[in-house]
Amino acid sequence: MASRKPSKATAKKSSRKAKKKATPNAKGKGKAKGKGTAKGKVKAKSKVKGKAKAKVKGKAKAKAKAKPKPKAKSTPKAKAKSKSKPAQKPKVTAKPKPKATQRAKPRAKAKVKVKVKAKAKQKPKANAKTKAKAPRKQATSSTKAARSAKSRSDSATVVGKIRDEAQAVHGKILRKAAPSLKFPVRSLSNVVYRPGDGFFRMRGKKKERALTVGTVKTFAQTLRMMAFSKELVETDDIATKREAYYVSKNWDDCRFAEQPESDTVMEDVEALFGVNREQLGFIPEEKGGDVAGELMVIDHDRETGEELRIDCTRFGSGAYSIPISVEDLQFETDAKFILAIETAGMFQRLVKHTYWRSAQCILVSLGGVPTRACRRFIRRLADERSLPVYVFVDGDPYGYSNIYRTLKVGSGNAAHMNEYFCVPQAKFLGVTPQDIVDYELPTHPLKEVDIKRAKDALKNDPFIQHFKEWQKALAQLIKMGVRVEQQALAKHGLNYVIDEYLPRKLANPKLFLP
């Protein structure tokens, strides 16, 4: 059969196959060239677009006066291709941009370093501030050390007194002698008032409590109370008067039946050693009193010794409460006087209307007969800031001879400590018997207990007996047969006491009762 002549298409295919077999490397090169050309075109387009975008961005950033963002780095392959193909000159022109970004990075780092240096320079300033505060901290720590040293010294003194008395009792027992304890007589009959002193001072009478069949329980209770006090002082602990009563329930036959018994023995121990009950580790149940007005109280944190400044004008509708111990407090004030007020209701009215601001004074709520802490607070404040003290209480024998007199000169029961817990510079503002007449105040009849208290003060109270003005006032009250409360001033208006009564009274302090 005759052979057909191959077609041109078939011949071309066969020649292509032959070429492929003959030159295998050419195949790779062809592919590389084809791919390189395609990639080059795509990259060229992307770079043209990138260049256009860079120009637009460059213009926008030039307007904003900001540096252009660095573009992504080109790969080594792209660099090689850009060198091999001269047609792609835009690539060569685009090269400086990555370099610029490379240079820009060190500049950014340099800026960061500058910032760090600037911060480093600021550190000495902070150190300078710290150094400036250092003396204050040292002063605080030294003050705290001084206070703790004084406290340890006082504690050692109290413990020493208790130990000496206990050894004396023990020595008498060993000698087969009846042990005894001598206590000062705590009553008005054993005190004297001298204007030079300004308080009730004890005459020196003492009572002896010997160990007998009839006094064995009281004597044993006294020794147990002394031992309990020694334990509190040595462990730097405290106990309220109520807690002391309950502790006695563990003393078998020495336990107290009622708290008044416990309180009496506690006061005997206090008088025996000539110290206050707080030094023995006993504290009262009641709070010291409330304070409002132009006063800065400077206290210290118990743990850190840090200074605490308490502004008594910033308690809103409340007030600063006087702590149990006021010995370490300091005061700053521009007030002109201290106004001590018996009732909480009257105190709240004056605080509500910020009377302390208009009168430029310090208000203190006594809450009835003032506590020792309250009296000591007023005494220290008045002494250190040279302030007069005016007292505003109900117009009755209790307000005169118990509240006011106790604040001014102390009491017979605590005569051994009156020197520290009284305010000799206090003056009586009101309400006086004459105020009842002058201000036409509503009154209540005197009760039998009121009449008895007034007559007893006239007969036995050394303070009342010393001042004729008080004798005349009490006699006038008994003759009128009435008593008056502070709130009676509300008859003329709720704020009559602020608008009229107090301003009129304060205009003539020389007319106050002594």
Give the pairing of strands 337-341 and 320-321: unpaired
> What integer pLDDT is reported at residue 302 of this predicted model?
79
Q: Can you tell me the distance from the alpha carbon of 169 to that of 173, in angstroms, rounded to the nearest whole number? A: 6
Q: Can you tell me the distance from the alpha carbon of 389 to that of 362, in angstroms, rounded to the nearest whole number? A: 10
How far CA 115 is from CA of 104, 108, 120, in Å, comes to 17, 11, 8
Q: Which residues are catalytic?
A: 246
> What integer pLDDT is reported at residue 148 of this predicted model?
62
Q: Which residue has the higher pLDDT, 169 or 98?
A: 169
Give the mean model confidence (pLDDT) for residues 411-421. Answer: 84
> What integer pLDDT is reported at residue 149 of this predicted model?
66
75: which residues sit within 8 A by CB, 6+ positions away?
none
CA 405 to chain centre: 33
* pLDDT tens track for 101-111: 444 444 444 44
**Please, which pLDDT band fits residue 5 given cuts at 50, 70 and 90?**
very low
> What integer pLDDT is reported at residue 412 of this predicted model?
82
| Amino acid (1-letter code) at residue 99 | K
Q: Can you tell me the distance from the alpha carbon of 162 to that of 275, in angstroms, rounded to the nearest whole number? A: 11
Give the mean model confidence (pLDDT) for residues 248-276. Answer: 91
**Please, which pLDDT band fits residue 147 given cuts at 50, 70 and 90?**
low
Residue 182: both structure tokens together: 């001598």
Query: Using the 8-state DSSP alphabet, how is residue 501 labeled?
Result: I
Give the mean model confidence (pLDDT) for residues 349-365. Answer: 95
Q: Which residue has the higher pLDDT, 8 or 309?
A: 309
Nearest to 393 by CA among 382, 403, 406: 403
The region of weakest confidence among 88-102, 173-187, 349-363, 377-391 is 88-102
The region of weakest confidence among 117-121, 281-285, 301-305 is 117-121
Q: Compute φ and ψ for 331, nearest 5 degrees.
A: -135, 145
> What integer pLDDT is reported at residue 72 of this predicted model?
45
Question: In sequence order, which ranges of 235-371 are alpha helices (DSSP H)?
Answer: 241-247, 259-273, 344-352, 355-359
Q: Which residue has the higher pLDDT, 404 or 36?
A: 404
Q: Can you tell me the distance from the alpha carbon of 314 to that of 485, in angstroms, rounded to the nearest whole number? A: 29
The region of weakest confidence among 64-68, 170-174, 335-339, 346-350 is 64-68
**Please, which pLDDT band fits residue 145 given cuts at 50, 70 and 90?**
low
**Please, which pLDDT band fits residue 3 given cuts at 50, 70 and 90?**
very low
> What integer pLDDT is reported at residue 484 of this predicted model?
95
Collapsing DSSP states into helix, strand and coil, what is residue 5?
Answer: coil
Kindly tell me the burial class for residue 10, based on how many C-beta atoms sit within 10 Å of its own C-beta (0-12, 13-18, 19 or more).
Answer: exposed
Q: Can you tell me the distance from the alpha carbon of 509 to that of 444, in angstroms, rounded to the nearest whole number? A: 27
How far CA 116 is from CA of 108, 126, 128, 399, 457, in Å, comes to 13, 15, 19, 72, 81
Do residues 302 and 387 lie in contact, with contact meaning Cβ atoms separated by under 8 Å? no
pLDDT above 90 (res 122) = no
* pLDDT tens track for 462-485: 999 999 999 999 999 999 999 999
> What integer pLDDT is reported at residue 185 of this predicted model?
86
| Amino acid (1-letter code) at residue 5 | K
- Tell me the pTM: 0.68
| Residue appearing with tokens 């006066």 | 65
Task: Please report the domains of the chain, with CATH numbers, ordered by start residue.
Answer: 140-177+211-283 (1.10.10.10), 290-511 (3.40.1360.10)
pLDDT above 80 (res 152) = no
Residues present in the chain in total: 514
Handedness of CA 129, 132, 133, 134 (dihedral sign): positive
> What integer pLDDT is reported at residue 16 of this predicted model?
55
Q: Can you tell me the distance from the alpha carbon of 464 to that of 200, in angstroms, rounded to the nearest whole number? A: 12
Mean pLDDT, the chain, whole residue set: 78
The region of weakest confidence among 61-65, 375-379, 426-430 is 61-65
**Please, which pLDDT band fits residue 146 given cuts at 50, 70 and 90?**
low
* pLDDT tens track for 262-275: 999 999 999 888 88
Q: Can you tell me the distance from the alpha carbon of 289 to that of 371, in angstroms, rounded to the nearest whole number? A: 8
pLDDT above 50 (res 158) = yes
Q: State which of 94-98, 132-136, 279-283, 394-398 shows the largest mean pLDDT.
A: 394-398
Do residues 71 and 101 lie in contact, with contact meaning Cβ atoms separated by under 8 Å? yes
**Please, which pLDDT band fits residue 365 given cuts at 50, 70 and 90?**
very high
